[in-house]
A and B are shown apart, each in its own frame.
Chain A
Amino acid sequence: MAKQASSSLKNMILSLLVITTISGASLSYVHKITAKGIEQSRQKKKIEAITAVLPQFSNNPLKEMYKIALFENDSLEVYPARRNDSLIGLAIASKTNSGFSGEIKIMVGFLPNGIVYKTKVIEHHETPGLGDKMEQPEFYSQFEQFNFHEKINSVTKNGGDIDAITAATISSRAYCNAVQNAYSVFQKINQQWSSDSQSGATK
């Protein structure tokens, strides 16, 4: 058996240098191979979420994505969905920090008249068995065809029309909050539309 390399400064620097170089090179190689797959799976996930919250569309909403400011330093992504060039809805990737643990990300689909078509959870870290029931249809189906002019987007405890998940009022409130965030972005877009059409009419 060969002798163990001695712990001289030269040996130590050399051995670490070689190891880190090899590992760096192999990682950049693996990254190059997997980068495409990672990008594809992320896009697929987004498309799946958009498909789940809007009626059937024929364009690629990812390509037409634009951002609308929500608060001062934050903005939400808006994905317009079209069928045969006519706009059939907007999917808004909304989020909130008011959940029980960490950020809740949801996709909210709006029809052009402002009615929520469907909603879907993209990511959450709520308590398993309690807050994570927001992923079950008993809860999220309450937002299907939700009209902000007829119903109040808040849990019943706060005088709203949404039945909160048992023992997970905070998570339920957060979900309402995220939908509300999406709606305020939708209203901003709606204002732009109406001002555009007004200016068009006066011409």
Chain B
Amino acid sequence: MGSFSNITKGIIKENPVFVLLLGMCPTLAVTSSGINGFAMGAATMFVLVLSNTVISVIKQVIPSKVRIPAYIVVIATFVTIVQLVMEAYTPSIHKQLGLFIPLIVVNCLILGRAEAFASKNNVFNSFLDGIGMGLGFTVALTLLGVVRELLGAGTLFGFNITGIEHPKMMLVFVLPPGAFIVLAYLVAINRMVQKNK
């Protein structure tokens, strides 16, 4: 497997949301708008790339019995950095995502990639895997957010595209049940496309 495929596999073939179904908590909870989905995806990607790289570097000096706590400390460190930086420089996004930023620590996508990929592969490939998986996660969350925002609020990244003030849209899509409905359809569409290839 070439190193380039380490990036591309995360976006379509092994998309963490649509195929691996990892990290469902932020996927369902924060994607009420396109911007929120994108910001959450970007934050997760940042953590994923760095934690994958660092874990790949230190994997040999970590005794296998304590590897999970060691990985969690590494991940939690990067998550806290993201949180502090977001609060300082993008307070409005931090307010929206709020509680879900610290929850990146227990996002099974990140620990999953650390355990399944970074602890077995070299630094360069782990870095690429982080970028690929992170991109796939960001694309999926942004897509989910855009669809929900469009159907539920009639806006696209905050801009009203219907031309009507306060359009009557399908509110359920902004609420939690809408997340499940949209995710199910996106997973189904993804399956259909993959099958017909």
Contacts and interface: CB of A to CB of B under 8 A. Distances in A.
Interface of A: 1-8, 11-12, 15-16, 19-20, 23, 26-27, 30-31, 34-38, 40-42, 44-45, 123, 127-130
The B interface is mostly helix, strand or loop, or mixed, namely helix
A128 B174 contact: yes
The 6 closest A-B pairs by CB, nearest first: A37-B88, A23-B77, A7-B65, A7-B63, A34-B88, A41-B91
Interface residues of B, number: 29
Given A37-B89, A128-B174, A27 B64 contact: no
A4 B58 CA distance: 10
B182 interface: no
A42 B65 CA distance: 43
A19 B60 contact: no
Interface in B164-188: 171, 174-175
A38 B95 CA distance: 12
B64 to A, nearest CB: 6
Contacts of B65: 7, 12
A193 B110 CA distance: 59
Given A12-B65, A15-B63, 19 more contacts: A1-B60, A3-B60, A7-B66, A15-B66, A15-B70, A19-B58, A19-B73, A19-B74, A23-B74, A23-B77, A27-B80, A34-B87, A36-B88, A38-B84, A41-B87, A42-B91, A128-B171, A129-B152, A129-B171
Contact of A6 (B63, B73, B88): B63
A120 to B, nearest CB: 15
27 contacts: A4-B63, A5-B61, A7-B63, A15-B62, A16-B70, A16-B73, A20-B73, A23-B74, A27-B77, A31-B84, A34-B84, A34-B88, A34-B89, A36-B88, A37-B87, A37-B88, A37-B89, A38-B84, A41-B91, A42-B91, A45-B91, A128-B32, A128-B171, A128-B174, A129-B153, A129-B174, A130-B171
